[in-house]
Structure 1
């Protein structure tokens, strides 16, 4: 069996590990259960992939988004590593082929929602895993901005695979979230925090009235390089993208109302530089391995500092100069608070559930899962605490948007002045190149074939 240095060089093409990766992988090689905190773009994936390959093991990798798991599977296949993903968008033939041959793979990617199904449990109960990997582990916390309730059931999986090593990873966590992850997984995890300020991302806040934001985008895009423009509203996402297209800019839109094929087409077009920008909601970008994103623009104020750090971290993964721009206007806060009210689970919802009153299916399932982990009285308190936490998170973005002191200090554990924000360094205008290639119509078909071929 190859030694770690040989795997690192021959398989991944690296001559050495970064300092954060080295400490995490050394602990993993000693068999420790780990919660690893690394900044976006710092190489989290290698921190579980290398330990699994070191022991010729098999990992069940739990990840929240189809685009995230497919991106990682495609990259592993490129490296000739046996990997596969299971999700609801596979057709029956593809799924049957994969399930028949699961024991061939070193890495099996799936969502927590799939794991909660009876079919999944019957399949994986007959398999052996050396590692259970929980990617984007902040999703387990009811305090996270993109909480996924099915993550709360992962303790049942870990109890079943009590001998498997657990590696949880995230770039987004505070002390409360770290506590939640350890408590709700019911595993004693060694926490390794190697998050750092992304000093190649220059931070800017631009006060812009809502009616002038599209005009501001048209001024920014010619020198922005490859860019993601984030929106809170799917309708605004579509409307602004159409206005930009009409003005000669090349870009697409990405949000949850689009079909799987449409979303994959956008992702691949952006990945392959056949468009310059994507107008997107927060679903876009998690785990996208595009290293040359130069600009992240937030059209609306995001719901939390957590969300903002995660999204701007998608810029400059190649280490080159990039920028993050928040187009700030107080009216945006009305949108943020409105979505909080629409999305949150209330005590009234809980009361209706207990009385058998009809609720949307999503809310019913949400409450059903929560009641598997918490008593009614505890859950009531959690709902109140969560509401307060989310309102405070939006208020923290108000402080960022109106800041008179270092922007970095509000995003990272950072003191004093920095060298990469406009408050500390003054206004910096960047001229990033944009090269848009000819689009290939067969791109999506080729990608799907490569993702599911059996070699």
Structure 2
């Protein structure tokens, strides 16, 4: 080891000191111990493995569940002149060989891998050739069926024990209870791991849940009071645009962010928010990875998240500078019913999963027993339409099949195109009159979607193709022509998804092999949703206490700033006023010090209530400067 952890921290990150408990975690990793670090969002988990990796020769293998998260970390390290790489989705064997040659001879320090990639014998053989100094498991809760995002492929990570038996592990997560930690230890075969756990209690963060019917009106009230940086989480891409437009129209500067934006659009939205030219960002849960902004004052959940883990993780982006911050959740009875119904409508049965997989094989004409080597272009919406399938259930099924190593698919398959006319309806009619060959097509588009002159609208090229009796490719070509002629602005999806089958076609047998894991995954998803609904409806126990107990921190200390605690304070406040009136009625006129002595209450609180009762004209002050009933 050539440099101390603090020297590395200062050189690459520009910080003088670590955040608790980073330094003790790093010390244990440097001593070659296996480590589990359970640190809340914003506690700087990445530094806990990045600094030890930089302290020694060789490469750190980082297992991470999301391509976007890996790319984000690789980019952040590159900005610090630290060489890091990840295997892109759909990379060919030749590209992977070149990448590993670079890793061996190019001074690289980090290789980010998905757990699915690790299942490849070819990748395993290439990893054997590397000098590995540390194995880091990010989002380690995914290894447990009790975790909120269980991925069976995480169970196969322990293959690295056979490849590099002497290398130590660090498993990191922001959300894990006792059962999940036990599963991490067992499934990674960790040797007496050193477990570091930072409390989930955040004394500066007020969890406040508001039961409201007019959510937009409440947004206006909230943002009228505070102009600090904020995130508004919603549950659809369409809502990010609609609510951002609503806020802008009401004088609040905001931008929007969702998974369907291009890389450039995401960067612009992020930069505008970071620099606070638009201090409010309305986003889906795609916004969150790699956020490094410590002065977020407010996180608002406009829609209900699906688990306590997701809720806590997203709320945890507020108040990282340790100043007072708020996590506001807006809900009503309809939201609770919708969340329950959504769970049922998006959870496929084993029979439905088998049917969707069989449809995939038929769609790509794969014979029984075959394992195709090619990658397929996959149009998600066209596939759902062709087999008359629920997009929600197909989406969930693809994730389940991906997580269980049946296939590999990139995450762009549900991306939507958008369209907006940039000229008036009169100009469109004039254009149609001079271009008869495309006039019927323009008419079909206008009949299919409303509001195309007023706002950017999500469209489906496949639906337009069906109505216009043509193909999706011809629709795209005609929309591009209208875009080039400056009649409209068309933002097409960048590409179809790339789908690769990882196992031979065996239809039902393929699903039967992992049906037990699939059932557990769906049961856990249901359990997590029901636990969150209970959290929302339980307005008798302090929100912080509920959250801490959920994560096995047995706390009875009330936070004093959540909606439940504030309601209790208000109740006690009204009671104190009643007690003051009662004692004056019994004893006659009294001074404030006499009232304090008789009630055994705080002098400041009593003075506040006396002023309140004077304003209400329930009491008055006599010529002896004592309080009496009116």
Please report the TM-score for the alignment, with normalisation by the length of structure 2: 0.60
- C-alpha contact 2:150 2:521 (8 A) present in aligned 1: no
SS of residue paired to 1:24: helix
1:333 paired to 2:336: yes
Per-residue CA shift, 1:349-404, capped at 9, x if unaligned?
A: 465489x56585825444545999x9988954544444443333223323332312
Partner of 2:558: 417
Question: Matched residue of 2:21: which SS?
Answer: helix
- Cα pair distance change 1:327/1:186, threshold 3 Å: same
Residues 390, 217 of structure 1: CA spacing in aligned structure 2 closer, same or farther, 3 A cutoff?
same
Q: Deviations over 1:203-242 (max 9, x none)?
A: 1111111xx1122112222415111111223333333223
Is 2:397 aligned against 1:261? no
The answer for the alignment partner of 1:64 in structure 2 is: 65
Deviation at 1:129, TM superposition (A): 1.4
Q: In the alignment, which residue of structure 1 is the partner of 2:206? A: 202
Moved more, 395-404 or 38-47: 395-404
Gaps of 5+ in 1: 429-455
Could you report, residue by residue, the CA deviation over 1:31-83 in whole angstroms, capped at 9, with x for unpaired residues? 11111101111121221122112223421222234453344344434444333
Pairing 1:235–2:238 present: yes
| Equivalent residue number for residue 288 of structure 2 | 285
Q: Is the 8 A contact 1:293 1:317 kept in 2?
A: yes
After superposition, residues 287-306 of structure 1 pair within 5 angstroms as 287-306=290-309
Aligned match of 1:129? 132
How far apart, in 2, do the equivalents of 1:389 and 1:134 lie? 22
- Alignment of 1:76 with 2:217, yes or no, is no
Question: Could you tell me which residue of structure 1 aligns to residue 32 of structure 2?
Answer: 31
1:190 is the counterpart of 2:194: yes
2:530 aligned residue? 395
SS at match of 1:130: strand
Is the 8 Å Cα contact of residues 151 and 404 (structure 2) preserved in structure 1?
no
Q: 1:320 to 1:90 in 2, by over 3 A?
A: farther
Q: Distance in 2 between matches of 1:213 and 1:280?
A: 16
Secondary structure in 1 aligned to 2:169? strand
CA shift in 2, pair 1:336/1:259, >3 Å: farther
Residues 139 and 148, structure 1, Cα contact 8 Å, conserved in 2: yes
* Residues 1:83 and 1:204: Cα distance change in structure 2 (over 3 Å): same
CA distance in 2, matches of 1:119, 1:263: 34
Structure 2: distance between partners of 1:273 and 1:427: 36
Which protein has greater RCO, CA pairs closer than 8 Å, 6+ apart?
1
Query: For the structure 1 residues 114 and 228, does the alpha-carbon distance in structure 2 shift closer, same or farther, using more than 3 Å as the test?
Result: farther
- Secondary structure in 2 aligned to 1:53? helix
1:318-329 alignment to 2 at 5 Å? Answer: 318-329=321-332
Which residue matches 2:544?
408
- After superposition, what is the alpha-carbon deviation per residue over 1:260-299, rounded to whole angstroms, capped at 9, x for unaligned? 4333333333233332222222221033112222111001
Distance 1:234 1:396, change over 3 A: same
Change beyond 3 A, Cα 1:279–1:121: farther
Report Cα offsets for 1:58-113 as digits up to 9, x if no partner: 21222234453344344434444333444349999x99986653242212334445
Q: Is the 8 A contact 1:87 1:114 kept in 2?
A: no
Greater CA radius of gyration, 1 or 2? 2
Contact preservation (8 Å) 2:254, 2:279: yes
The answer on whether the counterparts of 2:134 and 2:168 sit within 8 Å (CA) in structure 1 is yes
Give the alignment of 1:370-385 within 5 angstroms: 379-385=514-520
What whole-Å deviation, never above 9, does each CA across 1:112-155 have from its counterpart, x for those lacking one?
45545677556544322111111122233333333445434323
Q: What's the counterpart of residue 144 of structure 1? A: 147
Aligned length: 424
1:158 Cα shift?
Answer: 4.3
Could you tell me how far apart the structure 1 residues matched to 2:314 and 2:90 are?
A: 25
Partner of 2:222: 220
In 2, the alpha carbon distance for the partners of 1:365 and 1:335 equals 27
- Alignment match, 2:276: 273
Where 1:242 maps in the other structure, the secondary structure is helix
Per mean C-alpha deviation after superposition, the further-off stretch among 145-154 and 399-408 is: 145-154
Change beyond 3 A, Cα 1:98–1:337: same
Q: 1:251 to 1:143 in 2, by over 3 A?
A: farther
Root-mean-square deviation over aligned CA pairs: 3.6
Query: Which deviates the most, 125-134 or 381-390?
Result: 381-390
- Quote the residue 2:167 is aligned against: 164
Q: Which runs of 5+ in 2 are unaligned?
A: 362-393, 408-501, 504-508, 570-630
* 1:442 counterpart residue number: none
Aligned CA distance change for structure 1 residues 5 and 416 (closer, same or farther; 3 Å): closer
Q: TM-score, normalised by structure 1?
A: 0.80
Whether the aligned pair in 2 keeps the contact of 1:346 and 1:383 (CA below 8 Å) is: no
